[in-house]
Every structure is written in C-alpha cells, then in structure tokens.
Amino acid sequence: MALHARRLLGLVPVDAGPTLLSQRMRRCIATLLPSGRATLEQVAAQMAMSPRSLQRQLAAERSRFGDLLADVRKELAAGYLKDSAHPVTSVAGLLGYASPSAFTRWFTGVFGASPQAWREAECQRAKAGP
C-alpha cells in the first residue's frame, strides 16, 4: 500500500511555491482514488472545508471538481499503463473503479483505444524512439 501511495504522489507534480486550491485538490484526489473515496464530500473533509465552500473557491479559479477528478484519473491511468506492468484490473482498482469493464469504457472514451491497445501502442512508440 505504501509503495502505491508513493507512486501516486510521484505522478502528481508538487511545487514548492504557493499553490492554488485546485492543485492541492489534485493531490488529495490522487491519494483518495485507490480507496474509492475521491468524492467532493471526502475531498472537502480532507481539506477541512464544506463541499459548497470548496465548489465556490474552485469556481473562483475557473475550475470544477468533476474536471479535476477526470484530469487526475487521466494522468494516473496513462502513467500506470505506460510505466508499469500492472494488469488493467489493478489499474482500474487504483483509479477507484469498481469494475475493470467500467474503467475500460471510460478509458476507451477518453483515449480512443482500450487500455491494453493503448499500452501496446505506447510500448511500440517507446521502442521506436524519438
């Protein structure tokens, strides 16, 4: 579990300077995804805010919770599939999906290919080089 937490945190960029609320939320979402608790309510609780206050502050940054959640999932999915040998079922769980089929439907909609086909294409690109 600790290995996965370190990997998650390594995939989400961390700046040393002042951070926007949306940046802090992205890190929080990444840590809550594997447990399936990356909801607005859970993230707000982790940040000691009410869900509505969180939404208002995000709106001030021209951001929305659903968009942040989708972006974090997209980045993590690509990272897991590209840089690891995790089976698709494990990646689905790490991203908070209850079933691999739900993950595959989402992934195909976002990336235009199934997770396995995308992974194979990325391996071929890596072998071909720059």
CA-CA distance, 39 to 119, in Å (whole number)?
28
Secondary structure of 29-83 in the HEC alphabet? HHHHHHHCCCCHHHHHHHCCCCHHHHHHHHHHCCCCHHHHHHHHHHHHHHHHHHH
pLDDT at 117: 95
pLDDT tens-place values along the chain, 130 residues long: 666 666 666 666 555 555 788 889 999 999 999 988 999 999 999 999 999 999 999 999 899 999 999 999 999 999 999 877 889 999 999 999 989 999 999 999 999 999 999 999 998 888 887 6
pLDDT at 20: 83
Set out the domains of the chain in order of their start, with CATH numbers. 2-128 (1.10.10.60)
Query: Could you tell me the CA-to-CA distances from 11 to 21, 78, 88 in Å, in that order?
Result: 18, 10, 18
pLDDT at 130: 65
pLDDT at 85: 84
